[in-house]
Amino acid sequence: MADFIQRSVADDRIKAKYAKTDAARLEKMLVDQICEAAGGPCTYSGRDMKQAHTDMGVTAAEFDAQVEVLGASLDHFNVSQAEQDELLGLLAPMRDDIVEVESQETGTPLPAAFQPAPPLS
């Protein structure tokens, strides 16, 4: 997960969105969300996908870029295409809760209205 976050904050198409984010919290929440979706034993305790991405101004093309970065990270760890497709099948339905702007622009700024989740205490 650290590899995925590092790739995300290094990618010019999406990195602006992470400017206010607590990386330790994000890492824990991503692990728990995927672990819970895969059948446990973890429990995801973060915000729902709509709340987490509200006022982030994520575009359609930025969503696709984020999925591509995930694929690059999974390739790095030799995750098979079949397993990647299974994960993408879980993520695809979340798109409507995350994309706020139906445009092909990438690298759009993080709106000032965005309120990050509090860091882990």
Give the integer Cα–Cα distance in Å for 21 and 115: 9
Nearer to ligand HEM, 71 or 116 (CB): 116
For the chain, what's the residue count?
A: 121
Interface with ligand HEM (CB under 6 A), residue from 4, 5, 26, 74: 26
Asked if residue 62 binds ligand HEM (CB under 6 A), the reply is yes
Asked if residue 21 binds ligand HEM (CB under 6 A), the reply is yes
Asked if residue 33 binds ligand HEM (CB under 6 A), the reply is yes
Q: Is 82 exposed, middle or buried (0-12, 13-18, 19+ CB in 10 A)?
A: exposed
Name the amino acid, one letter, at 81.
Answer: Q
Give the integer Cα–Cα distance in Å for 43 and 32: 6
Nearer to ligand HEM, 21 or 73 (CB): 21
Give the integer Cα–Cα distance in Å for 15 and 68: 14
Asked if residue 47 binds ligand HEM (CB under 6 A), the reply is yes
Name the amino acid, one letter, at 118.
Answer: P
Per-residue contact string for residues 80-119; x = within reach of ligand HEM by CB under 6 A: -----------x--x---x-----------------xx--
Tell me if 59 sits within 8 A of 103, measured CB to CB: yes
Point out which residues bind ligand HEM (CB under 6 A).
14, 17-18, 20-21, 25-26, 29-30, 33, 46-47, 52-53, 58, 62-63, 66, 91, 94, 98, 116-117
